[in-house]
Structure 1
Amino acid sequence: MSSEIPVKQIDPSTGTSDNKNNTRTVELYASRKKIYVKEVKGFFQRIRNVSLTALMGMYFLFVWISVDGQPLIHFDLPAREFHLFGITFFPQDLILLSGSLIICAFGLFFITTLFGRVWCGYTCPQTVWTFIFMWVEERIEGSRSQRIKLDKAPKSGVKVAKKSAKHLAWLLIALATGLTFVGYFYPIRDLIADLLTFQANGWAWFWVAFFTAATYLNAGWMREQVCLYMCPYARFQSVMFDPDTRVVSYDPNRGEPRGSRKKGADPTELGLGDCIDCGQCVQVCPTGIDIRDGLQYECIGCALCIDACDEVMDKMNYPRGLIRYTTENELEGKPSKLMRPRTFGYGLALILMILAMGYTIATRVPATLDVERDRGALFKFNGQGRVENTYTLRIGNMTEVPQTFSISVSGMETAQILTDTSITVDSSDNRALPTVVDVDPDVISSSSNNIIFTMTSETDPSLVLETESRFVGPNR
């Protein structure tokens, strides 16, 4: 199935649109055409290599690091505990997860308004693993032209050997990825030992296999299809773009009209622009687009076309920057602003959320105290003629060691606890403590009074919690 869509044509003599009604036929439902990405070296590729090495290093190493016998990062779902860099979080800390997601969202919005899809080009997991798989493919099957020739060649022993070696390497990387991911939920040393001895449960086998297959298919076979059709970011990114957003762009005013020429030829004398129409920018693009057609949602901002074009400009003794990170305003000769109202708003929201999150974590008390008053009876008089209320104290210990807590009560004169005032709670455990409080009826001024329970750790005196409740007495 095909359709005709309007396109903007560039006048070769001026580099501007001729404003004519032009159309071209586009296949709406077409099978994927394999993209053969040419290897390129340059400034932005070196930046990507650094970010890739750092991200992959953290991903594969953090799962093996332990602090005081506890994994550095461990999402213990059966115990409902989440250990992150020496801090244990519980389901009660769900607000922190919400805050983290909001920070990530505003951070993405802020970066996008400034530099477009730079996240996709340098740090997105799909990009990171795809570039690793492409690197392996180049090492085994050769350069772009060699890979094209290999795919067109008839089946042979060499072809089968290279293809088999490539897919085996992909599967090994995918398996390491799956094992590592599951290792953040199932301690990696125990996971590998249990898998090798067939002691692991069925879910461990399933998730290792699932993430191995997902990595192999996404980075090895689907690649740009994930970015073009599955990733929602490609669809809503334009909402955050404006004429001052710095993105990978081709400068038509300098490059048009394009055309081939000999090295050292003066483009002005030939009536040409700086673009020699070599197609290198297309050959290195992992999504298979031509950046010279203008800003396209398929562009992931990886800047490989910049490195490729700069390399060609160097060979032609032309200035670099025919393709560069720039803004729409700069291409039109207008001034460009770094900070705009939208950017300032996103940045301010991001800073406020980071401060709020930092304050919440810094002031977080790794224990809980919930007080439930017995609603079955309002109050009663005991043998000493004092008024009694019954409560249930639910105490949670979110530290890494057992804690002994002492309980006291305040807020009303003569108030005292008749039951146990000390309780020991194991690490990551919760216990209930039935408690009875009595008060001299002479000091009770109303039927409902504020009362405060204070819990102090004898193990760690800095760990103190207070919770307010109600004490009910006779109505005076």
Structure 2
Amino acid sequence: MNNQIPVKDVTPVKVHKPKKSNQDQNYTPRSRIYVRAVEGTFETIRRFFGLIFLGIFAVIPWIPYNGAQAVLLDIGEQRFTIFSMTLWPQDLTLLAWLLIVSAYALFFVTTFAGRVWCGFMCPQTTWTFIYIWFEEKIEGARNKRMKLDQRPMDFDKFWRKTLKHTSWVVVALLTALTFVGYFTPIDQLFIDFFTFNVSFWAGFFVIFFTVCTYGNAGWMREVMCTHMCPYARFQSAMFDKDTFTVAYNPNRGEQRGPRPRKVPHEELADKGLGDCIDCNLCVQVCPTGIDIRNGLQYECINCGACVDACNGVMEKMNYPKGLISFTSEHELKGGKTDIVRPKLIGYAIVLLVMTALLAFEIMTRSSLEVDIIRDRNSLYRVTNQGLVENVYTLKILNKSQEARTYTISVTGLDSYEFFGDQVVQVAGGEVFSLPVSVATDTVNLDGRVTDIYFRVQTQDLDGNLIEVDEPTRFLYK
């Protein structure tokens, strides 16, 4: 019998710790990050997506449809209009399905390409870069902005700072007005706000979101990504060794160090140098202020700014591009990325199933809903003709946007007398209350409780029959 205890390798894992450079020795979490402008492929893609989604956000509230605002989420009336579809609180399941689909889409994309949502489409990133653009146009490039902040206040600094913050406030105000315009008619909102006739709550939320936008994009910036956004914290649960993410290739870049351009790339190994010239441009262009050369960090938002900056340097040095690139851990170790893998396939299947269920829910959604409220004063009464009578209130909800005519009948009784309107017209998006009563002879009843149905019928614009049978009870004794 072998009593030898197996030996396990417990060699400590080398952890990447941030190395203080000459530029950030005095950096604290509250220090200002001066982001340097960069040009390149990923910057162009980021601007493209930013402009597309910013344009969609700004234009949608202004689109008219059937004489009204196409998208209006009226919380006060509990009615959410999206073009030809009107949603009510009863349609909350659609929102649940939409959130589930969005979550799995985020999981799928993150597993495949890392935090590209954060770097290319997140509103915080988009508005932050808009604010940085104003900052750069008014105060100058990175070095000029740093020198300007170190100078004592003079007229040049005063007017530049004033113009910059005024531009920020204008962008924040337009953003807030547009956002609130999704919940109240936007054309009237603009008129009322600038003529000081806006309602209290509309004005409050415009000011509130103006302050939030100004503070988030102008002052907090990377703090939102590194300390407040929960997505930065749980992203690691979706990453694997085949996830494409922004990474530095240390095998190619080390040892880093400055060198003249005339040194051929082929002679670098003989001089003990890698491709990294230690220019720190990758740090200067990073909106979260990290050094990508220290390895994967949760602060990285995968915006690709460091990729563009490094590729520009490599091009000037006549070195191959890709020292910093979107790559996977397997590729960095010399292997091959396995794109089709069980985890990614699982997310894709669930995403397709949830999307199909959402589409099914929308297609099978009825534009008619009926609720029945029994009379609470008495369970029943006996008429002069000896019939048993029950009183109800029908709530007919017309979920469409056009007026419709509804026909009401009762099933479950062999014969009955109906007291009340059996044909009513309900305007689009309205709830119609109809008090009715049903009377019948006791021989038609099953006992103390008889199950009956109120059948409400109508036709849509195409002539298709829409029918709802709402169950209730007919009581006696």
- 1:277 pairs with 2:288: no
Q: How far apart are the structure 1 equivalents of 2:460 and 2:274?
A: 76
Opposite residue 95 of structure 1, the aligned amino acid is: T
The equivalent of 1:239 in structure 2 is 237
Aligned length: 458
Cα shift at 1:468: 2.5
The equivalent of 1:151 in structure 2 is 149
The verdict on how the C-alpha distance between 1:135 and 1:395 changes in structure 2, with shifts beyond 3 A counting, is same
The verdict on how the C-alpha distance between 1:24 and 1:260 changes in structure 2, with shifts beyond 3 A counting, is closer
Q: How far apart are the structure 1 equivalents of 2:183 and 2:208?
A: 15
Whether the aligned pair in 1 keeps the contact of 2:16 and 2:294 (CA below 8 Å) is no
Opposite residue 404 of structure 2, the aligned amino acid is: Q
The equivalent of 1:294 in structure 2 is 295
Whether the aligned pair in 2 keeps the contact of 1:409 and 1:416 (CA below 8 Å) is no
The verdict on how the C-alpha distance between 1:438 and 1:28 changes in structure 2, with shifts beyond 3 A counting, is farther
Q: How far apart are the structure 2 equivalents of 1:22 and 1:413?
A: 81
Superposed CA RMSD in Å reads 2.7
Cα shift at 1:389: 4.0
The verdict on how the C-alpha distance between 1:435 and 1:250 changes in structure 2, with shifts beyond 3 A counting, is same
- 1:464 pairs with 2:462: no
Q: Please give the secondary structure, in 2, of the residue aligned with 1:454.
A: strand
Cα shift at 1:323: 0.7
TM-score normalised per structure 1: 0.88
The equivalent of 1:257 in structure 2 is 255
TM-score normalised per structure 2: 0.88
- 1:428 pairs with 2:426: no
Q: Please give the secondary structure, in 2, of the residue aligned with 1:226.
A: helix
Opposite residue 270 of structure 2, the aligned amino acid is: E
- 1:401 pairs with 2:402: yes
Cα shift at 1:54: 0.5
Which segment is superposed worse, 440-449 or 54-63? 440-449
Cα shift at 1:120: 0.5
1:97-118 per-residue CA deviation (whole Å, 9 max, x = no partner) reads: 2222222222211211111111
Cα shift at 1:391: 3.1
Whether the aligned pair in 2 keeps the contact of 1:140 and 1:166 (CA below 8 Å) is yes
Q: Please give the secondary structure, in 2, of the residue aligned with 1:270.
A: coil
Q: How far apart are the structure 2 equivalents of 1:166 and 1:127?
A: 19
The equivalent of 2:222 in structure 1 is 224
Q: Please give the secondary structure, in 1, of the residue aligned with 2:270.
A: helix
The verdict on how the C-alpha distance between 1:459 and 1:306 changes in structure 2, with shifts beyond 3 A counting, is closer
Whether the aligned pair in 2 keeps the contact of 1:107 and 1:350 (CA below 8 Å) is yes
Cα shift at 1:413: 3.1
1:223-253 per-residue CA deviation (whole Å, 9 max, x = no partner) reads: 1111111111111111221212111011111
Q: Please give the secondary structure, in 2, of the residue aligned with 1:343.
A: helix
The equivalent of 2:123 in structure 1 is 125
Cα shift at 1:415: 4.8
Whether the aligned pair in 2 keeps the contact of 1:40 and 1:307 (CA below 8 Å) is yes
- Where does 1:350-365 land on structure 2 (aligned, <5 Å)? 350-365=351-366
The equivalent of 1:6 in structure 2 is none
Equivalent residue for 1:200, pick from 188, 198, 201: 198
- Where does 1:17-166 land on structure 2 (aligned, <5 Å)? 30=28, 32-166=30-164
1:398-430 per-residue CA deviation (whole Å, 9 max, x = no partner) reads: 222332211022244335534321222233322
The verdict on how the C-alpha distance between 1:436 and 1:81 changes in structure 2, with shifts beyond 3 A counting, is same
The equivalent of 2:316 in structure 1 is 315
Q: Please give the secondary structure, in 2, of the residue aligned with 1:106.
A: helix
- 1:331 pairs with 2:329: no
Cα shift at 1:383: 5.5
The verdict on how the C-alpha distance between 1:24 and 1:269 changes in structure 2, with shifts beyond 3 A counting, is closer
Cα shift at 1:345: 2.5
Q: How far apart are the structure 1 equivalents of 2:361 and 2:13?
A: 57
Q: How far apart are the structure 2 equivalents of 1:21 and 1:345?
A: 31
| Overall identity of the aligned pairs, in % | 45
The verdict on how the C-alpha distance between 1:24 and 1:408 changes in structure 2, with shifts beyond 3 A counting, is closer
The verdict on how the C-alpha distance between 1:375 and 1:291 changes in structure 2, with shifts beyond 3 A counting, is same
Gaps spanning 5+ residues in structure 1: where? 1-16
The verdict on how the C-alpha distance between 1:28 and 1:439 changes in structure 2, with shifts beyond 3 A counting, is farther
Cα shift at 1:29: 11
Q: How far apart are the structure 2 equivalents of 1:103 and 1:124?
A: 17
Cα shift at 1:387: 5.0
